Structure 1
């Protein structure tokens, strides 16, 4: 097992023990204060070790987690000195780091290709797609093609609502079902990936169900709203079970910003 994996595993174990003792009220307030004061320096130390120690053993440094802990510790330290407000539980707010990291990866690694797709489907469903793909070559591995960024909009008049199952690293989707042709059936729409920004407009006479699996983010469905640390979140309209024509949404992202409005 690599040093980076061992270090990350130890970090998870230590944090788990600390939070368990805290939830049982075993840790004194003085000990909690000491931990909070030392956490920025521990995070920065972890980041430095993940970057430096592999180099000593002539191995590739864990750049992703190394930079993450450096940024996380730096923000906690800035909070202690009053430059900004950032608490240890605000780690989920660093999700744009995923975009920055992969953007830098595209700049400094080889074998990347970018494709832009924009046009019409055979059934005259007008839509926009902008897709970034990249090819990577690993030692002893075949070329791997992955969908990185997908920017898609379904909001033209009379576009055809069809079953969908897409997985992306970063996805931005806009759906306007008030302008769609929707057949009398259950239409499953499944979107998954790392970061999802999804905006949906639904007619008030169309039944639908939503299932969200995400680590963190914001979910807003009409007046119902939930944000922060998310687990499994489900919501459905009053007559979904009896309806023939309905939409079944499933979203599975690490970070999600979902907004559904009924008009």
Structure 2
């Protein structure tokens, strides 16, 4: 089964869990005490799912995201501890976890800024084959990969607080028109592979990190690089790319 979006999976787990509890309560199959136990412990599903994604992110072709997985596991564990009054934390206190962003920045510099990418690898989470769902996507934590065979390139506007992006346009069906691609975020890396003969224009910015587009590199504290292929102006089939990160590396290659 192909991987589905993180938000879809989480929502499915919540709906299924709540539905089962209410169903069993209505038919007096479970007592109020058992219902309370389930209500206190159901966020353990977040912990299990988060750990799975965290582990899978380090296993080739297994999907997953170390950032989103660790965030989800920590969040679920804190909710459970809050339900037992061990700490003061409940389901709506997610924004108190903002210091994790600082930790992710540190880990990003320590382990991920010099990592190498191979064709077909990189970011670990695979999006649904129906990429039209991603036309306007905003997520706090989550990585995205567009590398399925014959995936359709459509106008995209994506934002993620913490997450990596991987685009393999060599495997894509690219329509005979000018397709805008906008990717923005706080922390993460953006990696794109383009066919050798595909015209494109890119405007890339990162406050902390590196930018490399083909053989051109950006320098300075706040880095910006604008590049336009020589055949971009007259081409019908082309990409117009806008990339903006606060912390992270941006790289575009042709193969």
TM-score w.r.t. structure 1 length?
0.47
TM-score normalised to structure 2 length: 0.48
Higher-Rg member (1/2): 1
Which has the bigger relative contact order, CA under 8 A and spacing at least 6? Answer: 2
By percentage of residues, which structure has more strand?
Answer: 1
